[in-house]
């Protein structure tokens, strides 16, 4: 069987990677359609060497499409994906639009691929920071049990889209030349104030909630619970997060402090669990100054882990450093990997009890 695939948001930072990840995937592609806004209609992008003309996304664009890979923003997904499902297309969505919807599985294949059988036409791809953290934590949870997670992130600017990446480059040049800097996008396009990102740190990703956490931090807490425990409010694992944007182009870093149930667990055992885990590469050798770095993660589908060490004053607690390409495992690769799982398990079909908005 071959599939007609549409990429919604094909021109974006994630969209262009969806194209290349699909080119490199095991998915048998009959045809591709590249969809974006009216601004891009008529432009041409390549798929496996062939020209594909970008079309403006409309509900009818999804007629005859079997599989949609979407990364054009939450409101665009909200508008189009239910229309695509009505037309018989299965959608894997990289935005936050449907992640917490009880009708929608939230999938990281290394952790909960088994939930895919229950899909109703829409499957959500988690937040980039959540994905790389759960890929590293799941093998530890499997072997030692997990009680608590305290994470701080160092998130690359490409997570905020191509325009944010352009802004960082422009500001960096302006700063070095001593020119005036006029931020328009970061920390968060949708918020009122914008601050310099070049040579700076911004402890705000997405908008603030009433409780003082940012929405990005909220996502890391509740998505982790939904992925690992199938319950966004589960109390069995406690999670807290601080999310910080750093002037890095690609590759999120995270310090993850965690407590396991098995108090006899050692750092060596945790390193062994990680080095055997799917999707994880252990890079951990202080004697060789070996540890994961953002710039080395670029272009890789893996999640890199290093600096695994015990909290010397609290038994059963550990620190580690986790890095991954936020546009690949954090977005485009995880999305295409979900689509590969759907194909492998004969799940590229909308069931009778399809998703209803
Ligand atoms: P366009 O390039 O035509 O604006 P990024 O995450 O890098 O900011 O990319 C966002 C993606 O979403 C782009 O491909 C963008 O297309 C697309 N997009 C934005 N608004 C719409 C819309 N209303 N309909 C379809 N695609 C959209």
Q: Does the CB atom of residue 72 touch ligand 1 within 6 A?
A: yes
Q: Is 128 a catalytic residue?
A: yes
Q: Does the CB atom of residue 255 touch ligand 1 within 6 A?
A: no
CA of 11 to the centre of ligand 1 (A): 7
CA of 334 to the centre of ligand 1 (A): 19
- Provide the residue-wise pLDDT of the chain in tens; the chain has 357 residues: 999 999 999 999 999 999 999 999 999 999 999 999 999 999 999 999 999 999 999 999 999 999 999 999 999 999 999 999 999 999 999 999 999 999 999 999 999 999 999 999 999 999 999 999 999 999 999 999 999 999 999 999 999 999 999 999 999 999 999 999 999 999 999 999 999 999 999 999 999 999 999 999 999 999 999 999 999 999 999 999 999 999 999 999 999 999 999 999 999 999 999 999 999 999 999 999 999 999 999 999 999 999 999 999 999 999 999 999 999 999 999 999 999 999 999 999 999 999 998
Q: What is the pLDDT of residue 357?
A: 87
Q: Does the CB atom of residue 76 touch ligand 1 within 6 A?
A: yes
Summarize the annotated binding site for substrate as residue ranges: 155, 245
- Which atom of ligand 1 is nearest the CA belonging to 163? 8
CA of 136 to the centre of ligand 1 (A): 31
Q: Does the CB atom of residue 159 touch ligand 1 within 6 A?
A: no
CA of 50 to the centre of ligand 1 (A): 22
Q: What is the pLDDT of residue 160?
A: 97
SS (H, E, C) the chain: CCEEEEEECCCCHHHHHHHHHHHCCCCCEEEEEEEECHHHCCCEEEECCEEEECEECCHHHHCCCCEEEECCCHHHHHHHHHHHHHCCCEEEECCCCCCCCCCCCECCHHHHHHHHHHCCCEEECCCHHHHHHHHHHHHHHHHHCEEEEEEEEEECHHHHCHHHHHHHHHHHHHHHHCCCCCCCCCCCCCCCCCCCCCCCCECCCCCECCCCCEHHHHHHHHHHHHHHHCCCCCCCCEEEEEEEECCCCCCEEEEEEEEECCCCCCHHHHHHHHHCCCCEEECCEHHHCECCCHHHHCCCCCEEEEEEEECCCCCCEEEEEEEECCCHHHHHHHHHHHHHHHHHCCCCCCCCCCCCC
| 153-171 tens-digit pLDDT | 999 999 999 999 999 999 9
Q: Domains of the chain, with CATH numbers?
A: 3-126+332-344 (3.40.50.720), 130-326 (3.30.360.10)
Q: What is the pLDDT of residue 355?
A: 97
Q: Does the CB atom of residue 282 touch ligand 1 within 6 A?
A: no
């Amino acid at each position: 069987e071959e599939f007609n695939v549409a990429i919604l948001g094909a021109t974006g930072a994630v969209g262009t990677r969806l194209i290349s990840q699909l080119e490199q995937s095991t998915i048998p592609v009959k045809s591709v359609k590249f969809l974006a806004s009216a601004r891009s209609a008529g432009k041409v992008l390549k798929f496996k060497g062939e020209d594909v003309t970008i079309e403006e996304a409309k509900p009818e664009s999804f007629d005859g499409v079997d599989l949609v890979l979407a990364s054009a923003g939450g409101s665009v997904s909200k508008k189009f994906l239910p229309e695509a499902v009505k037309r018989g297309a299965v959608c894997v969505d990289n935005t936050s639009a449907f992640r917490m919807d009880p009708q929608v599985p939230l999938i990281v294949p290394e952790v909960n691929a088994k939930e895919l059988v229950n899909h109703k036409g829409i499957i959500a791809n988690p937040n980039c920071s959540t994905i790389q953290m759960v890929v590293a934590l799941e093998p530890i949870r499997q072997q030692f049990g997990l009680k608590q997670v305290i994470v701080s992130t160092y998130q690359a600017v490409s997570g905020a889209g191509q325009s944010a990446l352009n802004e960082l480059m422009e500001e960096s040049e302006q700063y070095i030349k001593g020119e005036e800097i006029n931020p328009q996008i970061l920390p968060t396009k949708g918020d009122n104030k914008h601050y310099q990102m070049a040579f700076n740190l911004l402890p705000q990703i997405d908008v603030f909630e009433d409780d003082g956490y940012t929405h990005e931090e909220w996502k890391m807490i509740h998505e982790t619970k939904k992925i690992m425990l199938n319950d966004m409010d589960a109390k069995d694992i406690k999670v807290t997060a601080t999310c910080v944007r750093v002037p890095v182009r690609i590759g999120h870093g995270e310090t993850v402090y965690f407590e396991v149930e098995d108090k006899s667990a050692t750092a060596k055992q945790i390193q062994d669990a990680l080095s055997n885990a799917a999707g994880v590469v252990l890079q951990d050798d202080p004697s060789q100054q070996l540890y994961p770095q953002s710039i080395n993660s670029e272009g890789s589908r893996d999640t890199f882990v290093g600096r695994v060490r015990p909290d010397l004053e609290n038994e059963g607690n550990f620190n580690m450093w986790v890095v991954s390409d936020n546009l690949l495992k954090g977005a485009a690769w995880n999305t295409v990997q979900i689509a590969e799982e759907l194909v492998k398990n004969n799940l590229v079909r909308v069931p009778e009890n399809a998703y209803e908005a």
